[in-house]
Structures are given as C-alpha cells and as structure tokens.
Structure 1
Amino acid sequence: MGKDSLYQHPTRSEIIELAVAEGHDADIPSNAGSLGHLPSNSPAPPQKHLRDKDDPEKPAPLFMDKDLEKDLEKGERPESVSSEEEEVVEEVSENDPNVVWWDGPDDPQNPMNWPFPKKWGTVILVSAITFLTPLASSMFAPGVPEVMQTFQSTNDMLQGFMVSVYVLGFAFGPMIIAPLSEMYGRLPLYHSCNTMFVVFCIAAAVSSNMGMFIVFRFFMGCFGGAPLVLGGGTIADLISREQRGTAMVVWMMGPTVGPCVGPIIGGFLTAARGWRWNFWFVAILAGAFTMMSMILMNETSAPIILERKAKRLRAETGNLKLRSKLASDLSPRDLFTFSIVRPVRMLTRSAICAAMSVYVAITYAYLYILFTTFTAVFENQYHWHGGMVGLSFLGLGLGSLIGQFVFTRYGNKTANKHLARGDFKPEHRLYIMCGGGFFLPVGLFWYGWSVQAQTHYMVPIVGTGVIGFGLLMTFMPANVYLVDVFTVHAASAMAANTVLRSLCAALIPLSSQKMYAAMGYGWGNSLLGFVALFLVPIPFLFLRYGERIRMRSTVNL
C-alpha cells in the first residue's frame, strides 16, 4: 500500500455513529472498522490482529477479555481516541503487507468516491422504497369495512388485526435481515426482500379468505422492513458525515409520514377501484422500484467490497494470508446471537432501555389504534364515505411532519450547547421530550371528546394533529437518548425498542373497537390519555436521576 492511502483514521465517535446508521453494534465491523468488544465508557485501544497460538495463520479475536463485554451505561466516555492511538492503528494496518484496503483516498471502488449522480440517485431510490413500505402498512385502512364484507366477517378483533399485523412483521423480519446483510452485503438483501414484498403484495390482493389475507400481510411486513434496516447503512456508506444529515432527513420521511399519507391515497383508491387495488397499486410501484434497484444499485458495504477484493487478490497472487482490513472474526452464529439475544438482554436488564422502550411502545400503539378506528369513527360520527374517509388521516400526518421539523430544528440545540461547553450528558437530549410529552394526552382528550360531541369535523382532525406532534416528540428524543446512553451497543438498544414497539402496535389495537363500544369515544380516548399522562414523568425522572442510574448499572452482554 502506498503512502497516499494514509488518510485520517476515524475517531471512536465516528465509528459509533456509522455503526448506529448501519443498524448494528460498534463491535461489529462497519465501513470505518469496529471498536471490538468495548465498554461504552472506554477509549478504543489499537486494533491489532493477534495470532491464535494454536493456529498462527488464523487471527485471534480482537479483544478477548470477558470484562470488556459489559456496557456500563456510563456517561463519561471520550468522544474520540487519542491521536497517538490513531497513529498506532493506522501504522499497524499500513505496514502489514497482507492487509487489503482501498487504493488511496480516491479509489473509485470506495462508495464514498462514486460520482454525485450515482450516490444521490441511490439515496433517492432507497428513500422511495423506504417511503413505500411504511405507506403500505396503513394504506388500505379506509377499506377495512369492504374487506370485512368481502370475507363475510364481523369479528372486531380481526378488523383491527388485519391492519396491525403488518407491524408484527416489522418486529421479526429485521432480526433476520440485519445479520444476513452483515454476511452477504446489502444488495442481495434489497433485491430478495423487495422481490418477496412484491410477491406477497400480489398474494394479499388475490386472497380468497381472511386467514390467507392476514398471513400475507404479515409476510409483507417481514420483507417490507428491509429498507428500514438497510437504508441508514446505505446512506452512511455513500454520504460523508458533513452531508449525511440532509440525506437522513429525506430517508426518515418514509417511516414518519408514509403511514399517515397511505390512508389518504387508499381512501380514494378504495372508493374508485375497491380495496384490492390498494395492494395492486403498492405491488406496481414496488415492482418498478425493484427493477430500478436491480439495474442501478451496486453493493455499498465496504466490508463486503473489500472482502471480495481480498478474495480476488488471493486467487490472483496465491497469497492466502491476504485479509481485508475490515474483515470480521465473527461467525454467522455470533451475528445472529448479537441480533436476537442482545436486544432481549437490553430490554430485561437495563432500566433505562426498558422504561424508554415501554414509553415508546405504548405511544406507538396509540398510532395504530387510531389507524384501525378512524374509518369507523368518521363513518359513524360524521357519515363520511368513500374517498373522504381517507382525509381523516390528514391531521395525524401533518402533525407528524411538523413534529419531525421541530425536532430536527430545535431538538439538538440544548445538546449542542452542552457539547460546546464540554459538559454534555445523554440526559440533555430529554429536555424537548419533557415538554413534548404533554401534547399526546392533550391531543387524545381533545380528539376523543370532540368526536363524542360531534363538533365540526375540523376540531377532532386538529386534535389528531396534536397527537401526531406528540408522538414525534416522544419517538425521536427517546431514540437519540438510547444511542447516547449505550453508544457501542446502541443498535441492540434500538432493536429492543423496535421489537417491543412493533409487538405493542400489533396487539394492543385489537381491543380498541370493544373499548370504544363499552366506554364511548370520549372516555375511551380519555383512558388512553390518562395512561399517556402517567408516562410523562419518565423523561423528567431520567433527567434528574438518569446519570445516577447509569453509574450504578451494569448490563452484561
């Protein structure tokens, strides 16, 4: 390797940030390398490849001290390794002739060096796919009564479950997709999952009974979760840290706004062509995006690209010692274990992860309670029919959009102020959540009693806008807080959050119709509001006691 390839080694914070974007813990190699099995409060030691004493040709695991597998949830952690450590790491890598790396900082094989149209074209395509799959989760909600009539069912529980079962797929699919992407790369997972998503969209469109329909919806969710798992990593592969924020905002529009925009389209489509055309519409768009991705997209994962390069060089030179600089010693079993076992341990052993995940899960379940009941509410209370029913979701979508803008614009101001002072703690992320948490119960009371009193339809729709705003003020700060607390193992904490959130969103709405029938819309939504009000103190408690809890807590992974 020439001296021109000696460009800056990434800092600890950059490795952690990249790992979070890629959806895995920072002790699994990413485009910037890995931290090994490190506690989140320790600086990264040099990544030297030791030799296994039984097999000198085989590199030993980077860090074998069992104590280093603990994430202590401490707030006092350096944001980067020292310059001395950076130099040692780079020197060891560069002086080893058997390490395969990029051919200089301008290597065209490095996705960071791809032409502007190719990079941003990929970002736009991935963002489009990521918008489509969440949109499909709720798009046919206005057509639920027609589905019930088609399959001759009067079961209130199934009426809600046919919508929320999609989110159940979001809980299970990513746990398999994430480790597979580490083994085989992102591109094969995009192509296979997109193709299977189209297949199950078509299957749902031609379903002949309720059982088939629900099963196919579940598998739509399993495979539709792929862009949510892979998209952040793809953007991190392509876009520099300085420009990544803009790309991430574009990509995050899908999961934030897609579920709220879907029913607006679905309402008019159902009225014009019937409920099955919701799935044909999604299948057509997903098929087009899949074909475009097969033609235009390339593998972006640096560990995979460099591993292929090392394999090619080993075949050409006969030097079997050649090894990618980002090669992982983790077996497939390790990757699946990290993907499944670590989140469960986080959820059951960390008070911070458990409390935040419960808060987010309950509020996310409220979103799908509204998705599964809006059609009945506005048909019964306001006698809306056809495409008009889809417009009842407009307030929720606009509120979510405003919430995302407010958090993006103001959410980091307090944290940045403390970072500039040098006294930053993860709890500084919670100030906006403390204020934003009150909007959710207020919106539920507003929506419930205005619908009960049959006020002008704009009154409950504005109430749902307040709910949407409150939901984003809960989701976004909670996720960022978990990342700042767990750092190296942030992806496992996020996975724990996602699994619990998806399970609650799939199961809690099943009783919503019976709740409204028994309590009415006013007291039914008030019950939800009182539960949301009961959860409001959680960020206040962590703001005051969070550091103390972290200093006393030990999570063994």
Structure 2
Amino acid sequence: MSLRDITQGLNIVKPYHDNSKAMQREAPTEKPHGGPIKETELENGSTQSGKTLVTWDGEGDPENPKDWTSMRKWKAIFAMSSFVFMSPLSSTIVAPALPAIASDLNIIQPAVEQMVLSIFLLGFACGPLVASPLSEIYGRVRVVQTWNLMYIAFNAACGGARTKGSIIILRFVAGLCGSATLGIGGGTLSDLFRAKDRGKAVAIYSWSPILAPLVGAVIGGFISQNKTWQWKFYASSLLSVVIQLSGLIFIEETYPPLLLRRKKARQATTTGANNLYTEYDYLDESRIKVLSTNLFRPFKLLATQPIIQILALYNAYLYGNIYILYADYIDLWTDIYGESIEIAGLNYISIAIGSAIAAECCTLINDRIYRTLSKRNGGKGAPEFRIPIMLPATLFLSAGMFWYGWTAEKEMHWIMPNIGTSIFVTGALACTISVNAYVIDTYGRYSASALAAVSTIRCIAGFTFPMFAPYMYSSLGYGWAGSILGFIALGVGLPAAVLLGMCGKFLRSKSPYASKSI
C-alpha cells in the first residue's frame, strides 16, 4: 500500500487515547518514486482499513525530541557541537607548521603549501552531500559516529605522510570523513527546537565551526615549538577519540522518522500487533530508491532553490574571507611584527572575542527581533524575521576588513589589527548565525540537506580563497587587499539581505521543500 493510499479517506479511531482529538499538520515530504508531496500526520492510534498509525501522542509527548526537557535537549546539542567543533579545528591546527611541512616534503610553490591547509575544506564541500542525506534515512547518530571514526583514522595517517601528494590526498579524505556534522548538526537543531525557541541553539552551533579553527591555530602554534609537525595530526586525532567516546554516552538520536519507526517496533513487540505503520514506512519498503532520492536532494536544492543559491554564495564569500584571515594571520605577526610563532598564535584571541560577542549579542538581538516581528504578525513567526540583523552585521564585517587591512599596512600598534579582526569576525559570525537560522526555519525536515547544499559552495570558497592570499597580499598590500574584500562584502551582503527580506516569503511559497509549519 502506498503512502498516498494510506493518507486518503482516513476514518479516525482512538484505540490508545480515547479523549484526544485527531490532529492534522501539513509537512512536506517526498515519495520514493517522485517529487515532493503533501503528507498528513495524524495522532497516534488513528486507523484506516484495519491499520493503526503510530505517531506522537500530541503535545508534550516525551518521546518527541521537540518536547524533551531542556536539560536533555542541551545535552544533545553540546554533544553534537563537540563533533562540529572537532573537524574544523583540524583544518587549521597545521597552519603554524606549514613552513616545516613544506621543508620536509619538498613543497616549493606557495599555492601548494596553502593547499595542504585548505584541501581539508574541499573534503568538507563534498562530504555533507552524502552524509546529510544518509542521516535522513539512518538517523543522525549512526552517521556522525561512523564518519567521525573514519576521520580519526585518516587524520592520524596524515602524520605518517612522506610525500606532498600523500599528505594532500590524506587531508582531503580526512576532511571528507570529518564533514558529516556540517549539515547534520543543523538538522539536529530542527529536530529539537521549534522556530521560536531555536535562536540560542543556532548561535552555539554556528559558533563551533568558527571558534574551532582559531583554537586549532593556537594549539598548533604551541605544538610547533615543542614537537614535530606530525604531532599536530596525532593530537587532533587523540582529542577526537575523547569526543567519540563521550558521544557514546551523551549523544542521542533525534531524527523523528527513525524514532517513530522504533516506537512502532516496540508497540508491535509488546502488543503482538502486526497492523502498525508510520508515515515514514516507505523508507523501509524502498530503501535503495529513497537513498537515491535523498542523495540527490542537496543537488536539487542547490540547482532549483533561489533561497539556497543566494545564501550559498553569500556564505561562501564570508567563509572564504575567514579562511584568508586564518591562512595569512601567522605570517602577518611573524613577518611584519616580528613575533615568535607561539606569541603570534595568541593573536587568534581577537577572533575568539569577536566570536563570543557575536554569539551572545546576535542571539539576544536576533531572538528579540524575531519575537517582536512575530508579535506584529499576529503571533506567527517567519524565516524572514532572521534577516534584519544581517544588514548592520554586513557593515560591521566590511568595516573590520578595512580596519584590519590598513592598520596592518601602516604597521600600527599590534592591538589595531586585532581590533579590526574582532570587528570583522563579529559581523561575519552574526551573518552566519542568521543564514543558518533562516535555512533551518525554511526547510525544516530537510534542513540537513539544505545546510549541506549551502556548505558545499562555502567550503569550496574556503578551499580556494587561501591559495590566492599570498599573491594578493604581496601584490596589493594589506590595505588595498582588505579594502577590495570589504567592498565586495558590501556588494554581496546588502543586496542578498534585502532580496531575501522582500522576496523570501514568495520564494518559500513556490518551494515544494519549504516547511509549511512556519
């Protein structure tokens, strides 16, 4: 029996809860053999043609992740954020050791030397396109833990590389395996929180991939003074083993279709009933076709959804600039300001300060704007209410690029480029938080695939931009290089925010993937 047959002409009965009302909610989904359809979710116990639907027991069901206790939700968020934190840390922990790696492996060209750092992000671009759709079939936890285990192995293998070709290939595969959380983490937020409660959780999730690279660079700087470059890979893999083991204890499955299928299995065991079904049973009946559909979904979203295309390009530029900063930061302090590597690494604290300001202030301001606009909209929220903060944040990040570039160009006191860095990171992270929140609010159940589509272009930018950084700064100097990047940020960011604010609702209404619960 097909899903469409099940959801038509239902005669609702209440064998489990006699006093509850049938509850219907529209939610987008996909047929195994075709495109999106509208699916009706009914309360647990509804029957049709002798079959009994297993679903949530209305509001307050403790098995529904959105109705978990706050403590249980935050435990799941912090556990997932640990995985989100670990992989980007590995992307930059090698930055201070690039000269040593280049010397040992006979790397002469500056672009190839930077590729050892940024090739990790090319793996980040490819991995979510597979990992996120898999998580929408097999669940979040299984995919994250499996891929993280593979990441540990390949990242440790980088320490044994003896040629430039081998370290580049191993870094790519390690990035591929470590990328699972990029989309899955956002999907977990969608599983756990309703839109009106999601702001703080999105801020924490968005902070992890921004904070992790700078922590990696600081740790890498101190390791460089006491150990060989191989220990950067060994240290990050050992830390990831700790996170992997803690995940076995703290991380929980949050994906609703998988939880409902488990609930059906428990009820079938305890009652002996063989007529139970969930609205997601087609995932079991046609696994290969559903897998094919899910794997192609991020590409479909990227090819057909203007919202994804706009946000992907905007986020790509932000991410590319951030990685230009990471890639060149140590060189600025060692070459221009004459600092040792371990002291130069301490300047990453300015990035941490900017990240903290954005995570705290953006959360408070964004949530307040969302509540205020929702109240004016009759108490109904909308993804576009996440957009207003992007306008001043874009001005901040552009101003930060100007400040950083020209104070470095004039070799002003070391605090001045650090101030510019903090201003830039504050604006960039605020925009990233807003983009992630907008995507999660818009695409709901498909948010993992949507974030994977956005992260693909973003990570390609993170891979390519740093390779041009040495040539850009040597040709233009810090001042004009920072100015050009700042002007481009204004030209990309302001129109993107205005366009989504004005046309977002129309674009969502035309999208078969957008959540209809907003």
**TM above 0.5:** yes
Q: Which residue of 1 aligns with 2:374?
A: 419
The TM-score normalised by the length of structure 1 is: 0.77
Structure 1 distance, partners of 2:504, 2:54, is: 42
Unaligned runs of 5+ in 2: 1-14, 514-518
Which residue, out of 162, 180, 184, partners 1:226?
A: 180
Q: Which residue of 2 aligns with 1:269?
A: 223
2:326 is aligned with 1:371: yes
2:107 is aligned with 1:153: yes
Q: Which residue of 1 aligns with 2:363?
A: 408
Structure 2 distance, partners of 1:110, 1:328, is: 20
Letter in 2 for 1:190: V
Shift in CA distance, 7/406, structure 1 to aligned 2, threshold 3 Å: farther
Instruction: Note if contact 2:155-2:174 (Cα within 8 Å) is conserved in structure 1.
Output: yes
CA deviation after TM superposition for structure 1 residue 365, in Å: 0.4
CA deviation after TM superposition for structure 1 residue 410, in Å: 0.5
Q: Which residue of 2 aligns with 1:2?
A: 16
Q: Which residue of 2 aligns with 1:353?
A: 308
2:491 is aligned with 1:537: no
Instruction: Note if contact 2:312-2:458 (Cα within 8 Å) is conserved in structure 1.
Output: yes
2:163 is aligned with 1:209: yes
CA deviation after TM superposition for structure 1 residue 420, in Å: 0.7
Shift in CA distance, 357/325, structure 1 to aligned 2, threshold 3 Å: closer
CA deviation after TM superposition for structure 1 residue 122, in Å: 4.5
Which residue, out of 125, 137, 140, partners 2:91?
A: 137
Q: Write out aligned runs for 1:22-421 (5 A).
A: 26-27=28-29, 37=36, 46-47=40-41, 92=46, 97-101=51-55, 121-234=75-188, 247-294=201-248, 297=251, 299-308=253-262, 310-311=264-265, 320-329=274-283, 331-421=286-376
CA deviation after TM superposition for structure 1 residue 405, in Å: 1.7
Shift in CA distance, 161/264, structure 1 to aligned 2, threshold 3 Å: same
Structure 2 distance, partners of 1:463, 1:497, is: 27
Instruction: Note if contact 1:6-1:94 (Cα within 8 Å) is conserved in structure 2.
Output: no
Shift in CA distance, 541/273, structure 1 to aligned 2, threshold 3 Å: same
Secondary structure of 1:454 counterpart: coil
Structure 2 distance, partners of 1:109, 1:203, is: 41
Which residue, out of 378, 382, 397, partners 1:440?
A: 397
Secondary structure of 2:390 counterpart: helix
Secondary structure of 2:36 counterpart: coil
Shift in CA distance, 28/276, structure 1 to aligned 2, threshold 3 Å: farther
Instruction: Note if contact 2:44-2:53 (Cα within 8 Å) is conserved in structure 1.
Output: no
Structure 2 distance, partners of 1:120, 1:485, is: 22
CA deviation after TM superposition for structure 1 residue 128, in Å: 2.2
CA deviation after TM superposition for structure 1 residue 490, in Å: 5.2
Residue deviations 1:511-551, cap 9 Å, x none? 11111222222222222222223224314642674269649
Shift in CA distance, 97/138, structure 1 to aligned 2, threshold 3 Å: same
Q: Which residue of 2 aligns with 1:71?
A: none
* Identity, % of aligned positions: 29
Structure 1 distance, partners of 2:69, 2:497, is: 47
Residue deviations 1:173-223, cap 9 Å, x none? 122112222333333323311211110121012211222212222222222
CA deviation after TM superposition for structure 1 residue 6, in Å: 4.5
Shift in CA distance, 127/347, structure 1 to aligned 2, threshold 3 Å: closer
Letter in 1 for 2:109: N
Structure 1 distance, partners of 2:72, 2:382, is: 39
Shift in CA distance, 516/278, structure 1 to aligned 2, threshold 3 Å: same
Structure 1 distance, partners of 2:412, 2:436, is: 36
Secondary structure of 1:168 counterpart: helix
Structure 1 distance, partners of 2:302, 2:65, is: 35
Secondary structure of 2:161 counterpart: coil
Letter in 2 for 1:422: N
CA deviation after TM superposition for structure 1 residue 459, in Å: 0.8
Instruction: Note if contact 1:433-1:473 (Cα within 8 Å) is conserved in structure 2.
Output: yes
Shift in CA distance, 231/482, structure 1 to aligned 2, threshold 3 Å: closer
Structure 2 distance, partners of 1:357, 1:522, is: 27
Please provide the CA RMSD for this pair: 3.7
Letter in 2 for 1:46: T
Secondary structure of 1:27 counterpart: strand
Instruction: Note if contact 1:399-1:466 (Cα within 8 Å) is conserved in structure 2.
Output: yes
Secondary structure of 1:455 counterpart: coil
Structure 2 distance, partners of 1:111, 1:545, is: 33
Instruction: Note if contact 1:4-1:104 (Cα within 8 Å) is conserved in structure 2.
Output: no
Deviates more, 1:360-369 or 1:112-121: 112-121
Instruction: Note if contact 1:256-1:401 (Cα within 8 Å) is conserved in structure 2.
Output: no
Secondary structure of 1:152 counterpart: coil
Which residue, out of 423, 436, 441, partners 1:466?
A: 423
